[in-house]
């Protein structure tokens, strides 16, 4: 049975990437891998993290008996339902639960967030990739959408990571038959998580018009095409009234 104000690794694993997941706050110094969806606060004072009363958090340190204990107590005094991961990251790793590799994580800005930039008018890959990054890599990632010819310029000026851009110097882009979603899954070590591997095949099929890969690819393409058309009509009501898309 977990100690008071603690959460067991298997219970937290069931919540990862779900709508009901707590903020997973990793307090270790310079980790190379982490629990998917972890946050790394830029300030050591938990009262400055901006977590609202009534929100939930799971604090992670090396073994569950270090800085996470005090940080969770401080958050609870602020009205946050904060728990310590029982046994810390060591217990998570020992249970062979999914992790995300931080080797290819872009540098964080002063706000503690990673910044990414891609082409405007997103479709399959440029919708799926931000979802993947927000759910499993950096829940507070910022995404910039600009004209195709401005992506690399904005990337340099704003220190944002370009993705899904047809340029040889861009790391996060298509490689052979694999789409950008595939590359992100592999680079962050998420290819050991079978549900994400299956999802990657669906995204690849929809993004590259290889609808024969899996039956779900056609469904995803249809859903996203409808969402994009609806969004365009919402943003251009005059065109919508005249039947334009």
Q: Which residues contact 123 (CB under 8 A, 6 or more apart)?
A: 207, 224, 225, 228
Question: Would you state the pLDDT for residue 95?
Answer: 97
Domains of the chain: 6-101 (3.40.250.10), 115-241 (no CATH)
pLDDT at 244: 41
Residue 11 phi, psi (nearest 5): -70, -45
pLDDT along the chain (245 residues), means of 10: 85 94 96 97 94 97 97 98 98 96 94 94 94 96 97 97 92 95 97 94 96 94 81 62 43
Global pTM reads 0.88
Measuring CA to CA, which residue among 20, 152, 7 is closest to residue 82?
Answer: 7
Three-state secondary structure call for residue 229: helix
What pLDDT, on the 0 to 100 scale, is given for residue 243? 46
Q: Residue 147: its pLDDT value, please?
A: 97
């Amino acid at each position: 049975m977990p100690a008071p104000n603690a959460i067991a690794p298997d219970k937290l694993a069931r919540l990862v990437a779900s709508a009901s997941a707590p903020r997973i706050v990793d307090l270790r110094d310079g980790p190379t891998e982490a629990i998917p969806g972890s946050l790394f606060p830029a300030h050591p004072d938990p009262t400055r993290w901006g977590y609202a009363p009534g929100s939930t958090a799971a604090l992670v340190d090396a073994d569950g008996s270090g800085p996470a204990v005090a940080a969770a107590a401080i958050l609870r005094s602020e009205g946050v339902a904060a728990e310590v991961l029982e046994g810390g990251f060591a217990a998570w790793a020992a249970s062979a639960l999914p992790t995300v590799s931080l080797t290819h994580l872009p540098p964080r800005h002063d706000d503690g967030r990673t910044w990414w930039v891609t082409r405007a008018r997103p479709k399959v890959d440029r919708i799926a990739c931000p979802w993947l990054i927000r759910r499993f890599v950096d829940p507070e990632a910022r995404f910039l959408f600009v004209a195709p010819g401005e992506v690399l310029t904005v990337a340099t000026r704003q220190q944002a990571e370009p993705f899904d851009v047809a340029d040889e110097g861009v790391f996060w882009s298509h490689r052979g038959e694999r789409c950008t979603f595939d590359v992100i899954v592999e680079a962050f070590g998420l290819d050991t998580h079978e549900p994400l591997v299956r999802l990657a095949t669906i995204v690849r099929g929809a993004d590259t018009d290889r609808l024969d890969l899996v039956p779900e690819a056609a469904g995803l393409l249809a859903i996203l095409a409808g969402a994009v058309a609806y969004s365009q009509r919402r943003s251009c009501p005059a065109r919508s009234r005249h039947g334009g898309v």
